Every structure is written in structure tokens, then in C-alpha cells.
Structure 1
């Protein structure tokens, strides 16, 4: 502490009387402070610098002096930071803040002559009016540039645009100081340069006295989410911190860009994940869209950081489904869910509303699919069969299952959401959802029996009556099993097991691709399967029967692959009672004569 305070002591005096301040030495390259970038097709190189940050945590928190009078977050932050760093409060500018059930977070920055620093900042967190964390990169420059510019940024803009291979996007410019690695502070014009064609977006710091490009901020930064990767089934498999998992084809502006700006919470163009109300979202845990929240299984779902982990995972999974389904045809024109459709067809304004830990029920989940142009709503519930209770938002197969209802209801019948309303077709809707969940979790060509929902129920058998299996001993259900069933979930089990067998046959024939989520161009069996899965939905009639859905798969194969899989598909369908003559829930094992 004494060393830190000595380094940062008397910032106001240092700013006014630079000759009396201790200089920041010219720093060698460090991963903690520098970033060398090569930009664009011409390989323009630039090195950015950010002063080193100190950071302290205080456990249960530091009790403030009796003279500390809690007020608004703005006042509290400026008071604490100026006291902590022993600087005049006029050099501390409140920039932003937010409050959660656990803490109040404030972000401030250094300023001189009323002009803020771009890269000299501090942050403080309060809990119960105790300080729990403090970080700072405030500086004491040896020399500060004059606060009145001598270069008009417009006069050098063409050169800056050429260097960054983009154009000024008309965002308002600003005047800010920039701490430099040699210990000085430069006065800079801050101008945004963008190239939408290549998805580059920079904030350029132009020396207000020389016109030189000194530094950049790259807005196309890597977001990070601590989540269950979509290939994992549930929390027992372990959370991971994933860096920038969005698909630039499916979500060209990333997952957080909506309404003309990037959000810093669990909302974006494809989905908003919240609890209770849409204003109750999870904010980033660190700058640049980092959502790093752990989940403590010893605690109830709504306590501590568990709710933030749940919203983060739900946000990630819905976006991930959006992105891979887009690759396979569930696009704007295919009636998908997006706030902005980028003039690519379909109706916009219908991003998914993802309600986490919804209070309207327990031990279940659901997805309401209205017609194209109205937001689908997914409700994830708490499961009460264990103590502590378990959160459905941390079992990926449940989220994938629910989101697939949106896909099947939209693609069947041309976006009306009216065409899976019978017991049979609604049952197949449940089956498609289970099958999609299974597809996302495959990790190799090895075909294993599949169980859904075993984590939330703490039941190895899961929430279905039998595992999905190629073995008729493990799962003997056939088309005839549907007869007399009135539960759509029971009907769905039969269809999902048929599709499990279709998947197994295609993978056995063509192998398995580890890149199927992002590369639909491969010839491997899991890619062929999901193409036929999506294609058939758009082909089948409103409220299809099992045989009609089967026929849609056969036709989809003709349309996409010239019918090369005709006999493979017929033999699998027939093995589960859906042969050529199957009807009225009477099994048939026959196949076309040219497939014998």
C-alpha cells in the first residue's frame, strides 16, 4: 500500500506542477500494458498502451471513516477515490456505475483542466457501504500537452481513414488526454473509424498537436462468457470461459449489438436473458463484454452469483443455437428470431425473451412461439427434486430443447406458428427438440444411448421413459407405440428415438465432423443429418403425421443430395415401423423395391 500511495500521491499537484512529480518511466513491452496489432490488408502496425493497474480486494469490506457520508454512487465513488489516492476531487470524474443485489459498482476516470483521460481510470465496489474492491491506473505525467488543440482532426482524417482502412462513421468526436508509455500525456481527438464490410471498428486517438495516430481502441474485441459449452449437457461437466463464441456470419455485429450500440449485459439482437423483468439482466463482470460468473452448487439457484451464471449461460445457449441454426437455414427469411433482420427478409422485432428462474412454475420449461415478427418467449424454471434446488438454465439440453420448439414451429407452415397443434404433430415437436439437444452434445462418431434431463431431476433415467437407443432391447418403441398415447411428450419419445437411429446410420455411413456447428459444407453424417432435419421442417405440411414427416426427410434428401441416402433412410424408418405402408399407427417394415 505505501508504495502504491507513493506512486499515486498528489496527482493534482503533479498535474499542475509536472516538474515536481515522479515520472512514469518509459515502459518496455508488456502483455499487461501493451498490445501490438497488425491491421488491415496492408499490414499497418500500431502499438497501444494502457498504464498498469493496481488492484486490491478487501474480503468482507473496509468500514469507512465516520466522516464518510454515504450518498449517491457518483458522490461515494469520487469521495472515496480522491481520498484513497490523495488527490483533489476535481481530478476525478464519474463515468458510469450499476448496482446489483451484491454490490454497487462505480467507474471513474482521471481528468485535467476539465478534459478526461482515456486510459487513466479507477473502479470501486461497495457492499453495505463498505469498500470491497479498488483498482486504479491513475497517472502522474512528467509532461502534459496543452489543452487547446492546434490541429483540426478533419484535416488529417483522410490519412487516418487510409491507415485504418475504414471511414469516419459520424459518431460525435471527443477531446481526451492519453497517457503515453514515456510518461507524458498527449491531447487527442477521438474519432471512430469503421469498415462494415470486414467488421472492423476502431476508436482512433489522433494527436491534437501533430495529427499523428497514436493509438486505437478495437471495438471488435473478444467477448468472454463463463458457460457450459453447448456440447456439454449440464453443470456437472464444468463451466468454461469461452472467448468470443459468436458466429460472424450468423450474427455479423456480435451478440450484444442492438439498437445501434453494443450492450454490456445479457441482451442483444437475438435474445435478452433476464429474471422477472427485462430490466433485470446480468451486467458484464469486467470491461469489454466479459461475463465471468461462477456457480456454487451448494447454494440455492437465486443466491450469490448463481443467478448471473444462469442468465449468462442462457444468453450464450440461445445465441449459439441462433448461430448454428442460421447456418443450416433458420435465417431472417426463414422466420428466425432477431430484433433487426438487416433487410434480409422476414419480420424483425422478435428476439427471444429468455426468462431465467421464472416464478410461474417449477420442474419444467417452455417456449411460446408466436408468428414471425413477435418475440418467442422461453421460460426456464427451478427444479425442486433436490436440495438445494437445481436450475434448468444450467442444463443445456433443456434450453436447446425449448429453443428448438421455436425453430420447428416457425419453419413448419411458413412462420405462422400454427402448424404443430395436433397431438401427433405436437408430439413430434417434442421429439425434434430432444433430437436437436442430443445432436448438439455429440463429441465423436461413437453412438451412445442418450438420456435427457437427468441433472435437474437427479435421476439417471432422466425425464423420458426410456433412453434413446439403437438397441431394441434398451428402447423397443416403434411407430405403433404411438397408438392410444395422449401425452405429446410420450409421442415425442417415439419420434426422437426414430431420429436417434437416423443419426446413427448417417454417422456410421459418413463419419462425424467436429466443426458441424460452424461448417455446414462438410459431407460427414452429422452434417447431412442436421441439413435434412432443418430442410424437412420447411417441406412438411401443416400438422404433419409421422409418415408425412418421414416423407419430408426423404424429399429433403432428394432436394439436397440427389436422393443418395434414400435407401439408408427408408431402412432406418422401416426398422422402427415407419415402412412404406405404415399408417394409422400400424407398423410396417417394408421399403421401396429398389432398396431391398
Structure 2
């Protein structure tokens, strides 16, 4: 590299930003570097020289001001002229060049108000060494190597030759090549040393979706937040998802694309928590209840969980043709334009949550409330099982009865709806084949017993509820607790017999018990009659049903433990 004595720079600078970025499945560590930057504001502005005002060219004004501003704070290099190329707009941007070759990461900008400059920023550099201007390694020879390193393909965009300022104060001559992998949703701009062929740095054009949230397997805030990057995962995890876009694209499949805080008068509260349906939206404005902490990720967690459950349910059959919640159905059946609308810290209620399910083609609405049973208050959006419980109401109401949302209306079937919601919430939070008792929503209540009368358990002592307890019971959540405990027995029996898979969320093709349970869960919803009862459960799981009194001859709320021949 040839020596160079200096380029222009400004006096007021920020820290340079150099970091390592892990790229691709192999964890390739690539340097990213941004030179020190300066930024100044000038109040009413610094007038542009009169001779340049007569010229009238905005580009000339910008060029003159940038060169003059830098020259006033640093010596001028005799060997390296400062030139600029500025867009004909306000503000103006300029690149530092050397012998006609631009610097990729050395930019200046100036904004004008009338004839005066009002702001100025610069990341121009003064390299102590600068590489020769003619490449000794051809771009064609390095493309295959860079494609392999970045796990993608050159996308055909014209390559360029640019200088790259380095953290050690040198300037490298680089080939600039765009590498893409559509399947992995990656798009990099690679800076490859034009003399050695080494990959020096990258620009990542893909904005990764990073959420500091509670992974869906976790129940609530005490289990700890994690930073999840691209939790929507690979777009081709299953054939059914091949044509789908990711959570942040417009007109996509995601359910929870609209989140808000509402300001409304609370209606009278229902007597039991987590109802399946909401009241009409009130309109009288009141101040929002305070969040439990200014640092807790209420909306991001709600957005993440409800989208994640949508993707899981899609893999098990809750697709466009099965009347799911999706803005764009991609011609795969069902009605679109019905993404879920979700409100966090909704002030139309407290100590509650609900989900309103209209027919296919109309958006479902989920409302998450503040819980006032503790000091400070706690938010249901940080209790994952509450979110899953509510979204499951949308799933069960759509799958039962062919998308009409009319077929879970009797007391018993509504109770079963509550039970299915609890059961799927429990399923998402299982972390191993170890079958433990499950308690719903202990965090918001600050109570180890949660919000149900009994934990869900294989122990008849811990949870004594049976089919006969439905007799005369008109409380849908109480009925739901009975049904969810039956489903707990089914889950436990299947996992004990066939094992447990940690990949159940993304791979529905396994034979493990938790995967089989999920298939039975979703499939049975689609094939059951409108307004089902306990005794219309599938024959495949008679043993588990019978263990709680719902045997072959169960009727009139009398326990029966018989099973069909061969069960």
C-alpha cells in the first residue's frame, strides 16, 4: 500500500463503530466498520459565499461548503484532492474519492435553508496508507469464494470498485458484490479486497426482526426475557409455508399485524376470567392504566406470541382453506383480509382478556388487560399462556363448523372451548417428556394456584374433576377446567407411550406423543359436529377419556370407565 499524508476531517467527531457480525449457519465472523462521524448545527445558518449564490447550483454550494468546512479544521493534503458528488436535493450528500474512486464508508452531508447551511455531518477519513488504484485480483475470480462464504449467490447487480476505510487507519481497494439467498432471506453487500481476494466487510441489507420477548415455551415474566432474532424462521419450513412472506411484510399471512393501546371506559367485568368473547367497544376516553414497568416489552411480546402460535397452528392444519386469520390467502382458499387485531393494556377492562371471533373474512380481535391484583399491577401480555388461550378461541371457533364461528354456542360446547384454550396453552409450554402439573396464569394473580380451581394433573388427588362434574354446571370456565384436564390425560398418555419432540413447533411429521396430540387436537376440531359435547370425542383417545369417567357408556352425567373393544 502506498503512503498518504492526509485527507480532510472535521474537529468534532463521534466514536468510530467497529464490530464483528456472525453471518450464516457456520457462524462466519465478519468485520463491520463505520469511521468516526461529526455533526454540527448552525442555528440560522452559515451563508454560502456570494460567488456561489450567483452560480445557483445546489451541487456547487454543497461542494464548496463541505470542502471549506473541512479545510477550516484540518490541513489540506497536496497529494489527495477532496472531491464530491452530490445529489440535487436538500440535504446534499457527498462521497470522499481518491483518484476518482469513491470511499464506501466516508460520507458528508449538508442541509441548506435558503442560501445558508444549517447542518453539517461528515465521516470523511485521513488514511495513513491507501491501496493502489488498480485491482490485481479480478472480481470474477472471487465471486465463487464469496458466494460460499456468505451462503448465497451473486445477484447480477453491477459490481463496483470502491475504497473501504479500515479500523487500523488504512484504506483498502475493494470489489463490491451483492450476494443473496432468497430462501434464507439474506442479502449482503460484500467488500472484497481487490488485491488479496479476502472478504473484509459486509453491509446487511436485510433488517432482521429481533424481539426481546418471552419465548412461547415460557409461561411468564419470571422465566426471563430473551432476544429472539427472526423468530418466524425459515419461510420453507414446511410445504404449506413455501409461498408465505414474513411477519413484517405488507399483505401477509400474519395474524397480529395491528397492535394498539386503547383508551376506553371499562365495562362491567365478567365474573370469571378469560372469557371467549368481548363486549362492544366503548368510546368514552379515560387515561391508560400504567404499565408494570417502562422497560417491559408488552406489545412486542403480544405480537410475537400470537404470530408464533399462528405459524404453529398453520403447520397442523389451521390454513387458509381451514378458515384461518390471514390478510392474504394467496389463492389457497378461505377468505382473506382478516388478520387479528390485538390491543395491549386495553382499558375496557381489568383482570381479564378476551377474543372475539367473527366468521372467516372478518378480523378477530384480541384484548389484553392490566391485572390489578398486585402492587404494582401486572400485564396479561407478559403471561404467554393467556395470549395462547385467547388466540386458541379464534382457532376453535373457526375450525368447528366450517368457519362460521357459530358452532361453539351451547353451554357445554363453550365450556369445551375454554378447555381447548387451556390445553393448547399447556402444550406450547411443555419443555420435555416430564409430565408435570400445569397451573394457568400464576404470574398475573401472584398465586401459585393460578386462575383455575385445580391444576391440570394426572393425579386424581390433585385434580379430582370428572365428567359427572358437568352435571348442572353452567359456568363455562368451570366446565372448561374439566375438559382441559381430560385433554391433559390424553397428552400425558401419548407422551408416555411415544415420547416427546423438541421440534414439534416446526416439524409436524414426527411420531412423538406431543406431535400426535397436536394433530388430534386440530383434526378433531375440524371433524366434530356443531356444538359438540364431551361424549363426541374421537375413539382414538377413549382410554384417556375413560380415565376421567367419559367411557363408552357415559351418559346423564354418570361416570363410566368402559372403553371400546381394542382400545
- The two structures have a TM-score, normalised by structure 2, of 0.68
Q: Which residue of 2 aligns with 1:276?
A: 261
Counterparts in 2 of 1:514 and 1:109: CA distance versus 1, 3 Å: farther
Counterparts in 2 of 1:571 and 1:183: CA distance versus 1, 3 Å: same
Shift of 1:366: 0.9
Following the alignment from structure 1 to structure 2, what is the Cα–Cα distance between the partners of residues 157 and 411?
55
Shift of 1:532: 0.8
Deviations 1:6-57 (CA, angstroms, capped at 9, x unpaired): xxxxxxx965589x9x9x99xxxxx9535586799xxxx99854226789xx
Deviations 1:438-496 (CA, angstroms, capped at 9, x unpaired): 11112222222221112111222211122212222222222221122222211111110
**Contact residue 477 and residue 576 of structure 1 kept, 8 A:** yes
Shift of 1:234: 1.0
- Where do 5+ consecutive residues of structure 2 fail to align? 45-68, 75-81, 86-91, 109-120, 264-288
Q: Which residue of 2 aligns with 1:561?
A: none
Work out which of the residue numbers 197, 203, 206 in structure 2 matches 1:217: 203
Say if 2:567 is the partner of 1:582: no
Question: What secondary structure, in the 3-state scheme, does the structure 2 residue paired with 1:443 have?
Answer: coil
Counterparts in 2 of 1:583 and 1:374: CA distance versus 1, 3 Å: same
Counterparts in 2 of 1:359 and 1:120: CA distance versus 1, 3 Å: farther
Shift of 1:364: 0.4
Question: How many residues align structurally?
Answer: 469
Q: Which residue of 2 aligns with 1:571?
A: 543
Shift of 1:430: 0.7
Shift of 1:348: 3.1
Say if 2:227 is the partner of 1:241: yes
Say if 2:484 is the partner of 1:493: no
Following the alignment from structure 2 to structure 1, what is the Cα–Cα distance between the partners of residues 471 and 21?
65
Counterparts in 2 of 1:320 and 1:593: CA distance versus 1, 3 Å: same
Work out which of the residue numbers 227, 230, 237 in structure 1 matches 2:216: 230
Shift of 1:186: 7.8
**Contact residue 432 and residue 500 of structure 2 kept, 8 A:** yes
**C-alpha root-mean-square deviation of aligned residues, in Å?**
5.0
Say if 2:248 is the partner of 1:257: yes
Match runs of 1:373-392 below 5 Å: 373-392=361-380
Following the alignment from structure 2 to structure 1, what is the Cα–Cα distance between the partners of residues 333 and 104?
41
**Contact residue 8 and residue 124 of structure 2 kept, 8 A:** no
Say if 2:314 is the partner of 1:301: no
Question: What secondary structure, in the 3-state scheme, does the structure 2 residue paired with 1:333 have?
Answer: helix
Counterparts in 2 of 1:161 and 1:190: CA distance versus 1, 3 Å: same
**Contact residue 230 and residue 441 of structure 1 kept, 8 A:** yes
Work out which of the residue numbers 349, 355, 361 in structure 1 matches 2:349: 361
**Contact residue 254 and residue 326 of structure 2 kept, 8 A:** yes
**Contact residue 292 and residue 378 of structure 2 kept, 8 A:** no
Q: Which residue of 2 aligns with 1:325?
A: 313
Counterparts in 2 of 1:492 and 1:508: CA distance versus 1, 3 Å: same
Work out which of the residue numbers 300, 317, 322 in structure 2 matches 1:334: 322
**Contact residue 363 and residue 381 of structure 1 kept, 8 A:** yes
Say if 2:50 is the partner of 1:50: no
Question: What secondary structure, in the 3-state scheme, does the structure 2 residue paired with 1:410 have?
Answer: helix
Counterparts in 2 of 1:325 and 1:173: CA distance versus 1, 3 Å: farther
**Contact residue 117 and residue 179 of structure 1 kept, 8 A:** yes
- Where do 5+ consecutive residues of structure 1 fail to align? 1-12, 26-30, 56-64, 70-81, 94-107, 123-134, 261-266, 279-298, 555-565
**Contact residue 401 and residue 526 of structure 2 kept, 8 A:** yes
Counterparts in 2 of 1:394 and 1:198: CA distance versus 1, 3 Å: closer
Following the alignment from structure 1 to structure 2, what is the Cα–Cα distance between the partners of residues 66 and 184?
30
Match runs of 1:87-486 below 5 Å: 111-112=95-96, 119=105, 139-141=125-127, 164=147, 166=153, 168=155, 178-180=164-166, 183=169, 194-197=180-183, 199-203=185-189, 216-219=202-205, 223-248=209-234, 249=237, 255-259=246-250, 269-272=254-257, 274-276=259-261, 300-301=290-291, 303-306=293-296, 309-486=297-474
**Contact residue 153 and residue 181 of structure 2 kept, 8 A:** yes
Counterparts in 2 of 1:321 and 1:47: CA distance versus 1, 3 Å: closer
Work out which of the residue numbers 502, 511, 516 in structure 2 matches 1:523: 511
Shift of 1:434: 0.2
Counterparts in 2 of 1:198 and 1:272: CA distance versus 1, 3 Å: closer
Following the alignment from structure 2 to structure 1, what is the Cα–Cα distance between the partners of residues 7 and 336?
52
**Contact residue 7 and residue 125 of structure 2 kept, 8 A:** no
- The two structures have a TM-score, normalised by structure 1, of 0.65
Following the alignment from structure 1 to structure 2, what is the Cα–Cα distance between the partners of residues 175 and 355?
50
Following the alignment from structure 2 to structure 1, what is the Cα–Cα distance between the partners of residues 230 and 198?
31
**Contact residue 255 and residue 319 of structure 1 kept, 8 A:** no
Shift of 1:497: 0.8
Following the alignment from structure 2 to structure 1, what is the Cα–Cα distance between the partners of residues 548 and 358?
33
Question: What secondary structure, in the 3-state scheme, does the structure 1 residue paired with 2:469 have?
Answer: helix
**Contact residue 273 and residue 311 of structure 1 kept, 8 A:** no
Deviations 1:72-100 (CA, angstroms, capped at 9, x unpaired): xxxxxxxxxx99xx89xx9999xxxxxxx
**Contact residue 407 and residue 530 of structure 2 kept, 8 A:** yes
Deviations 1:196-245 (CA, angstroms, capped at 9, x unpaired): 3554433466999xx99986434457543222122221111122223433
Question: What secondary structure, in the 3-state scheme, does the structure 2 residue paired with 1:202 have?
Answer: strand
Question: What secondary structure, in the 3-state scheme, does the structure 2 residue paired with 1:455 have?
Answer: helix
**Contact residue 109 and residue 116 of structure 1 kept, 8 A:** no
Counterparts in 2 of 1:593 and 1:320: CA distance versus 1, 3 Å: same
Following the alignment from structure 2 to structure 1, what is the Cα–Cα distance between the partners of residues 472 and 84?
73
Question: What secondary structure, in the 3-state scheme, does the structure 1 residue paired with 2:320 have?
Answer: coil
Shift of 1:379: 0.9
**Contact residue 109 and residue 117 of structure 1 kept, 8 A:** no
Q: Which has the larger radius of gyration?
A: 2
